[in-house]
Amino acid sequence: MHLFYVLRSLPQKTSAKYRPQVLTLKPKIWLAALAPGLLSCVISLSASPHRVPAAQGGQATTEAVLATMDKAAADFRSLTADIENTKYTDVVKDTSVEKGHIFVRKDSKMRIDITEPDPRTILRVGDSLSVYTPKIKRVEEYDLSKHRAMVDQYVLLGFGTRSEALQKAYDVKLAGEDQLDGKKVYLLELTPKSDDVKHQITKIQMWIDSASWLPLQQKFFETGPGDFIQFHYTNLMKNLKIPDSRFKQDLPKDVNHVKPG
């Protein structure tokens, strides 16, 4: 789910001076927000846990995991979670980390409040996306409608996604079973089918919680050798009521509105 990969290919005219560090992946394709499109600890489910059927020999299959995810996605309406983004750049051996909170609703609304190290709010409502940086009283506003095909590629990695849509955009395979945050998880590997996406990311890994059937972690392998960005989710709450007011920017009167590109 995330807003951190939606604007990667959009034109950017923002000065590098004001670009958030963890999002400065490559100057010409700087990513302002999403991704998604992706959780441990406190889970509130409206249905009993789904169990994945095992194939002969007791091993789960890609098809069985995706089918069980579909069952769990049927009742998805919203979620909140804590989020930690880790960006690693191999050439300079640099690791930068951001922490915050994410709020998602099924009706194409998402909010990410980055709390540290540099506070800002990333807000998506339908085809409108904004990034507010209070330190400089600046809000960047984007229209996603002209880039719907690219946006959909990353929104597919959000929560409540059906496997049919996921497999249309990615080659998906089950890489095995693992443990994360004390939870049993299934590790899925996704290879983009779109050439445009391949220019940015070569592979995506998702750690799917076997209890909630939502991603505990997503890892994007970028085109730079060894480079990746990782999203780790904790304290997940599913299907809580999130009011419309949560998806509105509370901006000061003297904020500077900018429309990059």
Secondary structure letter of residue 22 according to DSSP: G
Instruction: Give the C-alpha separation, 206 to 51, whole Å.
Output: 18
Secondary structure letter of residue 181 according to DSSP: T
Cα angle: 69, vertex 72, 73; to 5 degrees: 85
> Mind listing the pLDDT tens digit of every residue in the chain (261 residues)?
455 655 454 555 444 444 433 333 332 222 333 443 432 222 233 333 556 555 445 678 999 999 998 888 888 889 999 999 999 999 999 999 999 999 998 888 899 999 999 999 999 998 888 999 999 999 999 888 877 766 666 665 667 778 888 898 899 999 999 999 999 999 999 999 988 888 888 999 999 999 888 889 999 999 888 999 999 999 988 899 999 999 998 899 999 999 986
Of 51, 87, 66, 38, the closest CA to residue 205 belongs to 38
Instruction: Give the C-alpha separation, 240 to 233, whole Å.
Output: 16
What is residue 260's predicted lDDT score, i.e. its pLDDT? 83
Secondary structure letter of residue 146 according to DSSP: G
What is residue 51's predicted lDDT score, i.e. its pLDDT? 60
* Cα–Cα separations (whole angstroms), residue 22 to 5, 19, 79, 118, 170: 12, 9, 24, 10, 25
pTM, two decimal places: 0.80
What is residue 72's predicted lDDT score, i.e. its pLDDT? 82
3 state SS of 136: helix
Instruction: Give the C-alpha separation, 95 to 86, whole Å.
Output: 7
3 state SS of 20: coil
